[in-house]
Amino acid sequence: YGGGAYTCKPTMKFLFIQLQFIKQTFTLIRKHKLNYALGFSACLVVVFTVSLLVSVLSKTPLIFLRLAELENGELDLWISAGSWTGFSKVNYSLVEKLLDKEETSYHSPRHEVSTNFYKYTECGSSVGPPYSLDWKYTGTPSFSCINRWECFPEICKARVHTSRLFLIDSDREKRMNLGRDWNQPKIPKGTVYVQRPLSISLNISIGDTLILDLNGAGIVGTEVWKETIGSIKESDNNARRVFLTVNVSGIYDSAGKYEVDITDGMLMEYGDFISSLALSASPLILSTARQNLSNLNLYEFADSVIINLPPPRIAPYLNSNYDAVQKNIVNFASGILYKIGFNQLVSYVPILEGLSSSRYFSLFLGLILNLIIFVLLFLSILLIYSLLMINVETRTFEMGVFRMLGTTRVRIISLLLYQAFAYSIPSWVAGLICARIAAIFVTWKLTSVTGVPISAELSLEGVLSATALGLVIPIFASILPIRNALGQNLQTSLDTKHSRTKAVAIKIERSEEGGAISWTVVIIGSALALFGIGIYYIFPLALLSLNLGLLLNMFFFLLIGMLLGLSLLALNTQHLLEKLVVVLFIWWDSRAIRTVVQKNLVAHRIRNRKTTIMYSLSLGFIIFITVSYSVQLATFKYERQQANGAYLKVTASGYYPDGTAHSIVSKDALEKISLEHPKILRHAWITHQLTNSLPLVQRTILSNLGRLYTAINHVQGVSANFFDTTIDGFLKVSNSNYNDKDIDDVLYTINGSSQALLGSYYQTSIGLDLESKFLLTLDESKIPFQIFQDSRQIPQATSDDNIKMMTPLAFLDSAPAFDFSSFPQRRSQSFVVSLPTFLRMCGNYFSSVDEIPMKNFIIKLSDDVTNHDLDKIKRSLKEATQNDRGVEVWDYRDSIGPIQRATKAMNYFFTFTTVIAMLICFFSLMSSMFTNIHEQTKEIAILRSLGVRKFWMYRIYVYEAFVLVFSSSLLGIMIGYAVGYTMTLQRILFTELPISFEFPYTIVSIVFLFSIGFGFLASFSPIRSVLSMRIVQI
């Protein structure tokens, strides 16, 4: 047992020493409550901020997911039958059997039918009961119209309305969480849900009776319909027509069921539809045929099948890197398509396509958010280091006493670490608790803004980051303060007669072989070496592999380097700027006070450097993130304005079976609306591309006369006043002999009839100028053609009539509604001509300009137009084109509506970030001022004994804090301006959009005023506590 007794003594001694350390720590806390409260509060803010921000920022991709869902519906994978198979329907029952695993079982069939419908109450008194079949197909006793296609419209005098009827399986879509905000019950049999905008525009309410004009053969396919109906007593053509009477049982919002652009939707239950259709079919068909139709399994004749990811469905989208998201979704879709037959199906990933349109915006926002996290982490580490350094500096005498009594260095280090953990551990626990509570509110707010349910749990990454800052960082941050405390000789540590503030410091370095390593040189050399490796290898790798994530990570490190570099560079001008601030703002006060303030700033320069760096970096960072986000937002808006050319337009999309594009037919009606409406100033037309207007033309090829250099382009015609109608600011003419706004009118002159507007890139790629002639070849060959800069053989045209010799009218860097550029990444650009020239290019295919297929009808609105006016104009345009196939009205407000939600969410985040950054700086400033005043208590006592009044002393230290904060804020403004302006230039270079640099005057003014207020608070409290004591006690 002797061995046990022997080992027990050192253990008891160790425990006794640890208890003494704890006792000393609590004694210190009771003695310096303010200092402890400062350290505890600072660490609490750091842990709270980091854990909350990292957890919340990991969910910011949900904002862009929500945008994609609003634009395309909550559809991960959409499949339909391939036209090359000869079938138009998908057997959903077979798909369901093949996708038998749990992770692929979240799917549902869909039918989408474009239909006309009538309000029964508008039909008049001559019609029969709504559910009666005879009068709908054969007429009334007073009006017989059997076998006539126009029978029903001639009896029912109601206005014809159009809608998109969706057949959905409510139970399946509920299981797959399709329509996250959908709160409607299952659709009752024989009833329909009407979308809210359609119900408002047509004054439809619950209980109304509608009659749908359906093509029955389009539901199950023509062959199946004929086989099912069999022998009938009327013509096959009329037998396809079914007048289905339904009651309105609900009004709904789209809620993610389909894309947000659809505003005229109706919903019916998929499983009940075929029986309702059979009951409403013509009374002239045989009863057995009606029964056969009712027995059909509509699940074997689905238009499409929607397949969603298994829960949690949003997990694969939680990445700001589009390439990573694309990999997740493509892997999911590929596995499904391989199993059910990829060679027989057409597939589409709607949400991924929606994310693709905003991938650059998402990537740059991810870059900004990463920068925010880094800067806040850097500020937090600097704050913890500053607090520990000040804690050690203020206890130099106490450490000297311990050393004089024989305490070893190890125990002194242990004591300092105990005291560091005395506020870091409680603040770590309290910070995580507060962050968890705040996360509930933050995620609730984000959920209400985005509509996506977000977990309120703190992420593992956030907790680990907060733990590192709250527990691990204090250990490493204590190294330099402890070395500083133990590096002083004992006499200096115990000297209480002299002030610890030194205006002059002398450092002696011995030049000896094997001396101390210069860590400054090591750090700078390593940073430059890494910078060289990044520029020389990683940057070309990112460009060649088109890895935008890697490229933006390089931009991230460059921005970090710019911010830190400018902050460190600003330190060299700090003293001069402080002198300037003293002269400009304290000139009216006593010269003696100004002199003391300047000497205090010199004496405290080393300690104040940390505060200067933090304030300048924080303010520069706040300006940068505000500017960068406003630039990204402006880019998003300008891209849509430039691509469309107007805030409101009518556009045609889709193709006829022969390959020609749908076009606007109701031209006269649209022009009449434009001419008669007082809020519409003018209008303009844009044709389809020539390749979409002529079925035989495969491509249009621009080349020089020798056909040595070639490029594919897109030929379109415009009306004479086009650029006067489009949005201003996007027309950039690189080279022309005419005024910028007149070039479209010159196209309509004699010389302009053989001229075209070209992109500036062709000046270098093909070697064109304003005097050059070039060839435009209308290629009808089926040979694949690529764009080359060197000599290649152009496919032979079918005739000489397909080769046009022309000259450039102007070279454009950009233009509204067209694709022009001076950079080579856009080799296939627009080619704009007048409408008569476009007609001549079409040969004999069109006889006049009126027959040219038009793609866009653009209108220019007056500056005082209101949303109410826009809604009325939009409704008129829709009514005018309701019978035009593939034609819709595009509204700029709808395209930016989703991004405004994201902006609202990001504004909350940026406001929170700004507050946190300023709080961190306030704690740093307060700790610095507390130490400055504590170390100058002897000077304060001497000045007081010489008769200096208390008010003077207040002014001296408040002025010092004011000058420090004001000069640091000015440096921060310059840093933020420089970095923000640089990023704006980069975005202009990338997008070729007229993005202007907007300095955030409002937020800078608010932050600036708060900085001044923080400076007053940080200095007033410490100097007040000192001046409240008697002179002999100081």
d(CA 757, CA 863): 29
Q: By percentage, how much of the chain surpasses pLDDT 90?
A: 9
Segment 648-664, tens digit of pLDDT: 999 988 766 556 678 88
Q: What is the DSSP letter of 799?
A: S
Residue 80, strand partner residues: 304, 346
For residues 992-1012, give the mean pLDDT. 77
User: How do the residues of the chain divide into helix, strand and coil, expressed in percent and rounded to 5?
Assistant: 60, 15, 30
Residue 307, strand partner residues: 77, 107
CA angle at residue 417 from 412 to 418, to 5 degrees?
95
Which H or E run contains 406?
Answer: none
Which H or E run contains 808?
Answer: strand 803-814
Segment 163-211, tens digit of pLDDT: 889 999 999 988 888 887 788 899 999 899 999 888 887 888 898 999 8
Residue 144: pLDDT band (50, 70, 90) is low
Question: In this structure, how many other beta carbons lie within 10 angstroms of the beta carbon of residue 685?
Answer: 23
d(CA 56, CA 908): 12
pLDDT given at position 149: 54
> Does the structure show a pLDDT above 50 at 416?
yes
For residues 775-781, give the mean pLDDT. 79
d(CA 75, CA 771): 53
Segment 660-697, tens digit of pLDDT: 678 888 889 899 998 888 889 999 999 998 888 887 78
Name, of 382-386, 603-607, 903-907, 973-977, the range with top average pLDDT: 973-977
Torsion of CA 951, 954, 957, 958, to 10 degrees: -110
Residue 247: pLDDT band (50, 70, 90) is very high
Segment 318-366, tens digit of pLDDT: 877 778 888 889 999 998 998 888 888 888 888 888 887 777 766 776 7
Question: In this structure, how many other beta carbons lie within 10 angstroms of the beta carbon of residue 1032?
Answer: 7
pLDDT given at position 782: 41
CA 249 to chain CA mean position, Å: 38
pLDDT given at position 139: 72
Residue 9: pLDDT band (50, 70, 90) is low
**Cα–Cα separations (whole angstroms), residue 803 to 62, 704, 865:** 51, 12, 46
My answer on whether omega of the bond before 188 falls inside 30° of 0, hence cis, is no
pLDDT given at position 233: 45
In 343-485, DSSP assigns E strands to: 345-348
Segment 838-890, tens digit of pLDDT: 998 888 888 888 889 999 999 999 988 888 888 889 888 888 887 787 788 88
| Amino acid, single-letter form, for residue 913 | T
Segment 42-93, tens digit of pLDDT: 778 778 888 887 887 777 777 778 778 877 888 889 998 887 787 888 899 9
Segment 90-122, tens digit of pLDDT: 899 999 889 888 888 899 999 888 888 888 888
d(CA 218, CA 229): 14
Of 623 and 244, more confident: 244
d(CA 877, CA 882): 8
Q: Is the entire prediction scored with pTM above 0.75?
A: no
> Does the structure show a pLDDT above 70 at 624?
yes
Helix (H, G, I), strand (E, B) or coil at 283: coil
pLDDT given at position 983: 80
Q: Which residues of 343-367 are buried (b: 16+ CB within 10 A; e: fewer)?
A: eebeeebbbbebbebbbbbbbbbbb
Of 146 and 837, more confident: 837
Helix (H, G, I), strand (E, B) or coil at 680: strand
Name 334's Cβ contacts closer than 8 Å, sequence gap at least 6.
342
Are 620 and 871 contacting, i.e. CB atoms less than 8 angstroms apart?
no
pLDDT given at position 231: 46
> Does the structure show a pLDDT above 50 at 378?
yes
Are 462 and 58 contacting, i.e. CB atoms less than 8 angstroms apart?
yes
The region, left, alpha or beta by phi > 0 then psi within -120 to 50, assigned to residue 251 is beta
Helix (H, G, I), strand (E, B) or coil at 937: helix
> Does the structure show a pLDDT above 80 at 402?
no
pLDDT given at position 491: 66
pLDDT given at position 540: 83
Residue 1031: pLDDT band (50, 70, 90) is confident
Residue 621 token pair: 């960072």
pLDDT given at position 473: 67
> Does the structure show a pLDDT above 90 at 28?
no
> Does the structure show a pLDDT above 90 at 917?
no
For residues 581-590, give the mean pLDDT. 82
Residue with tokens 């200092």: 35
Q: How many residues does the chain have?
A: 1034
d(CA 36, CA 28): 9
Segment 703-727, tens digit of pLDDT: 888 888 888 889 999 998 899 899 9
Q: What's the mean per-residue pLDDT of the chain?
A: 80
Residue 825 token pair: 């990444």
Q: Which residues of 987-1002 are buried (b: 16+ CB within 10 A; e: fewer)?
A: bbeebbbbbebebbee
DSSP track, 709-778: SEEEEEEEEE-TTHHHHSPTT--EEEEESS-GGGHHHHTTSTGGGGEEEEETHHHHHT---TT--EEEEE
Question: In this structure, how many other beta carbons lie within 10 angstroms of the beta carbon of residue 93?
Answer: 14
Are 979 and 616 contacting, i.e. CB atoms less than 8 angstroms apart?
no
pLDDT given at position 502: 59
pLDDT given at position 706: 82
Segment 466-479, tens digit of pLDDT: 887 777 767 766 66
Are 416 and 485 contacting, i.e. CB atoms less than 8 angstroms apart?
yes
Residue 174 token pair: 């509920």
Are 315 and 50 contacting, i.e. CB atoms less than 8 angstroms apart?
no
Residue 877 CA neighbour count, 13 Å, CB half: 27
| φ/ψ of residue 716, rounded to 5 | -140, 150
